[in-house]
Amino acid sequence: MPVNLPLPIASELKPIKGLRLGHAHAGIRKANRKDVLVLELAEGSSVAGVFTKNRFCAAPVSICREHLKSGLPIRALVVNTGNANAGTGEPGYQNAIKTCDELAQLMGLKREQVLPFSTGVILEPLPVDKLVAALPAAIGNLQADNWFNAAESIMTTDTQPKAASMEVMIDGKAITLTGISKGAGMIHPNMATMLGYVATDAQVSQDLLQALTTEAADVSFNAITIDGDTSTNDSFIVMATGASGVQIPASGEQYETFRQALIKLSQTLAQMIVRDGEGATKFITIQIEGGKTNEECKQVAEAIAHSPLVKTAFFASDPNLGRILAAIGYAGITDLDVSQVQLWLDDVWVAKNGGRNPDYKEEDGQAVMKKSEIVVRAHLGRGSASQTIWTCDLSHEYVSINADYRS
């Protein structure tokens, strides 16, 4: 069961003017499930993206990068679940191209105006004929108020759809942002984890949107980890239709309002992935403070978050907190003065000046470990930099889910 993650309410997911979404059942991996999604963007929209750094990136990722660099306006996206089209070589690349060609023809576009995405099993051929055959149904189903179905259409091992909306006021006008994400396993920050799509009716230039997308990814999808595995298909896309008529400048109060809204929504969607992590029973916030740089703080946070010993201790509600200190020690800061390190579990001061706090009582740590949401905070005593990431525990269920993934 997800950790404190309510099911999205379809009526609360706000439509975005200038964007329509349509879904279909293609039977790519399983029959009678939503597994194809098409998004149609109005003319004049801007689109930006951040993608996986995995060298075995999927064919659709390569094509997305190419099409975004083509200079032609992006007018459509197509997503399939059930098959990642990764590790499929030239045939996989051609299948992704065929998907773009078919959708472009149906929508009166050029190939380069379509961005393809796939998610699912790696190293298996994409059943492109099934995907292409479902495109007319998805197009026929296009509607603005279709975010909930869209969220369901991109799920793999997710136990529920992930979606959220928000509004902000800029120059007296309401700007809407709505997004969906998917992912529950193979989650490690090295771009924008798994799949995430955010749309807004604000008007944002291409260059500014790319900069904002990269920044938002770094503090959201790049700040989560479930199992330390970086997917071959990770993609985070932000679309700005401009239909509100409100132009976002490159600086100033309006810019900052929009920037904070995009970051907040991106973090919400990213945290939903952790809360629905495969087999997760705990949602854990790791805050590292007092570093020389943000990079070394993130290095320490990831060492803690990726440690199987730390994660299994959280699952067992076992305050074996020396494991956290060990992870801090091997994180790679060669000149770390451990006598300056402080460690808290929520507001319980566990380690003081590099050793056990004389006032720490194990029953206090035990009480925190039994919670479903826990904050781990460490101060390195080296400077003023800080970094926060979000993770979950590691349970028996995670092993079972991934052992049976292809069943």
Q: Tell me: the pLDDT tens digits for 178-211?
A: 999 998 654 454 433 379 999 999 999 999 999 9
Task: Calculate the CA 342 to chain-centre distance.
Answer: 30
- For the segment 16-28, the average pLDDT, to the nearest whole number, is 98
Q: The domain containing residue 34 runs over which residues?
A: 10-275
CB 399: neighbour CB atoms within 10 A? 12
Question: Do 207 and 267 share a domain, yes or no?
Answer: yes
Res. 406: pLDDT tops 70 = no
- Domain assignment present for residue 377? The answer is yes
pLDDT digits (tens, 9 = 90+) for 295-327: 999 999 999 999 999 999 999 999 999 999 999
Question: Do 289 and 271 share a domain, yes or no?
Answer: no
Question: Do 124 and 216 share a domain, yes or no?
Answer: yes
Question: Do 89 and 235 share a domain, yes or no?
Answer: yes
Contacts of 276 (CB under 8 A, 6+ apart): 2, 3, 5, 158, 159, 160, 162, 183, 184
Question: Do 236 and 377 share a domain, yes or no?
Answer: no
- Domain assignment present for residue 123? The answer is yes
Report the pLDDT value the prediction gives residue 184, as an integer from 0 to 100.
64
List C-alpha distances in Å: 143 to 1, 70, 138, 366. Answer: 31, 28, 10, 50
What is the β-pairing status of strands 373-379 and 283-291?
Answer: parallel
Contacts of 37 (CB under 8 A, 6+ apart): 21, 22, 23, 77, 78, 79, 80, 138, 150, 153, 154
Report the pLDDT value the prediction gives residue 136, as an integer from 0 to 100.
98
Q: Could you tell me the two tokens for 44?
A: 């004049």
pLDDT digits (tens, 9 = 90+) for 63-93: 999 999 999 999 999 999 999 998 899 999 9
- SS3 assignment, position 102: helix
How many angstroms separate the CA atoms of 271 and 392, rounded? Answer: 10
Tally of structural domains, the chain: 2
- For the segment 395-404, the average pLDDT, to the nearest whole number, is 79
Q: What is the CATH number of the domain that holds 337?
A: 3.10.20.340
Report the pLDDT value the prediction gives residue 185, as an integer from 0 to 100.
52
Lowest average pLDDT, out of 129-138, 141-150, 230-239, goes to 230-239
Report the pLDDT value the prediction gives residue 245, as an integer from 0 to 100.
96
Tokens 């926060």 belong to which residue?
Answer: 388
Question: Do 265 and 294 share a domain, yes or no?
Answer: no
CA atoms within 13 A on the CB side of 100: 25
- Domain stop point among 241, 275, 309: 275
Res. 259: pLDDT tops 80 = yes
Question: Do 261 and 160 share a domain, yes or no?
Answer: yes
Question: Do 72 and 207 share a domain, yes or no?
Answer: yes
pLDDT digits (tens, 9 = 90+) for 340-381: 999 999 999 999 999 999 999 999 999 999 999 999 999 999
Encoded amino acid at 69, one letter = K
Burial of 84 (0-12, 13-18, 19+ CB in 10 A): buried
- For the segment 289-300, the average pLDDT, to the nearest whole number, is 97
Q: What is the DSSP letter of 14?
A: -
Q: Tell me which residues are annotated as active site.
A: 193
Residues forming a β-bridge with 199: 178, 239
How many angstroms separate the CA atoms of 199 and 180, rounded? Answer: 9
Lowest average pLDDT, out of 11-20, 149-158, 193-202, 254-263, goes to 193-202
> With left for phi above 0 and alpha for psi between -120 and 50, is residue 394 left, alpha or beta?
beta
- Domain assignment present for residue 210? The answer is yes
Question: Do 221 and 244 share a domain, yes or no?
Answer: yes
Report the pLDDT value the prediction gives residue 55, as an integer from 0 to 100.
76
Q: Could you tell me the two tokens for 72?
A: 């032609």
What is the β-pairing status of strands 235-240 and 195-200?
Answer: parallel
- Domain assignment present for residue 322? The answer is yes
- Domain assignment present for residue 156? The answer is yes
- Domain assignment present for residue 3? The answer is no
Question: Do 118 and 164 share a domain, yes or no?
Answer: yes
Question: Do 116 and 262 share a domain, yes or no?
Answer: yes
Q: What is the CATH number of the domain that holds 92?
A: 3.60.70.12
Nearest to residue 274, comparing CAs of 236, 319, 223?
A: 223
Report the pLDDT value the prediction gives residue 229, as an integer from 0 to 100.
54
Cβ proximity of 166 and 259 under 8 Å? no
Q: What is the DSSP letter of 228?
A: S
Q: Which letter, b or e, does each residue of 272-287 get, where b requires 16 or more Cβ atoms within 10 Å of its Cβ?
A: bbbbbbbbbbbbbbbb
Report the pLDDT value the prediction gives residue 398, as an integer from 0 to 100.
80
List C-alpha distances in Å: 87 to 79, 131, 393. Answer: 18, 18, 29
Q: What is the DSSP letter of 45?
A: -
Q: Kindly report the backbone phi and psi dihedral angles of residue 327, in degrees, each rounded to the nearest multiple of 5, phi listed first.
A: -65, -40
- Domain assignment present for residue 85? The answer is yes
- Domain stop point among 240, 258, 275: 275
- Domain assignment present for residue 223? The answer is yes
- For the segment 208-237, the average pLDDT, to the nearest whole number, is 85
How many angstroms separate the CA atoms of 389 and 310, rounded? Answer: 15
Question: Do 228 and 331 share a domain, yes or no?
Answer: no
- Mean pLDDT, all residues of the chain: 93
How many angstroms separate the CA atoms of 34 and 19, rounded? Answer: 20
